């Protein structure tokens, strides 16, 4: 005999889990993009020691926090979805840079 209540709950849980995984993936892409942009700024301001020192300090703090964040994300997002994050990041990076007008002039 089928337990329709249990099946409905399981379907609801699967849907919520997929939504949470999708939102975590989006957060991961945004956070990773921010780190990439920080690294570019750090390179561009390498000659200004005070500014670069401050940026390095805060970027290192963000990097340390990102490591803890990334470890938590890896536990929640299914492995097959984790494998797609690099490709997703490349695609997101291209689109974001176009949107934010950060593309290099050809």
**For the residues of 6-22, what is the DSSP string, one character each?**
HHHHHHHHHHHHHHHHH
How many independent structural domains does the chain possess?
1
- pLDDT of 31 reads 84
The SS3 assignment for 47 reads: coil
For 29-65, what is each residue's pLDDT tens digit? Answer: 888 888 888 878 777 776 677 777 777 788 788 878 8
Assess if residue 61 is contained within a domain.
yes
72 in any annotated domain: yes
Does residue 106 form part of some domain? Answer: no
For residue 82, the model assigns a pLDDT of 66
**Judging by beta carbons within 10 Å of its beta carbon (0-12, 13-18, 19+), is residue 72 exposed, middle or buried?**
exposed
Phi, psi of 70, deg, nearest 5: -65, -40
Domain holding 24, by residue range, is: 4-99
Total residue count of the chain as it appears in this document: 106
Q: Is 13 domain-assigned?
A: yes
Is there a domain that residue 84 lies in? yes
Which pLDDT does position 106 carry in this prediction?
Answer: 44
Question: What digits encode the pLDDT tens for the residues 54-104?
Answer: 777 887 888 788 788 778 777 777 677 666 777 788 888 888 888 888 876
Q: Is residue 11 part of a domain?
A: yes
Residue 104 within a domain: no
State residue 21's pLDDT score.
78
| 49 within a domain of the structure (yes/no) | yes
């Amino acid at each position: 005999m089928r337990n329709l209540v249990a099946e409905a709950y399981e379907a609801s849980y699967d849907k919520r889990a997929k939504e949470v995984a999708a939102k975590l993936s989006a957060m991961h892409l945004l956070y990773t993009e921010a780190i990439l942009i920080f690294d570019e700024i750090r390179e561009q301001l390498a000659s200004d020691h005070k500014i670069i020192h401050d940026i390095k300090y805060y970027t290192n703090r963000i990097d340390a926090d990102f490591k803890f964040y990334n470890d938590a994300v890896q536990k929640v997002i299914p492995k097959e979805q984790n494998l797609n994050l690099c490709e997703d990041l490349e695609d997101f990076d291209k689109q974001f840079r176009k949107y934010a007008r950060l593309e290099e002039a050809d």
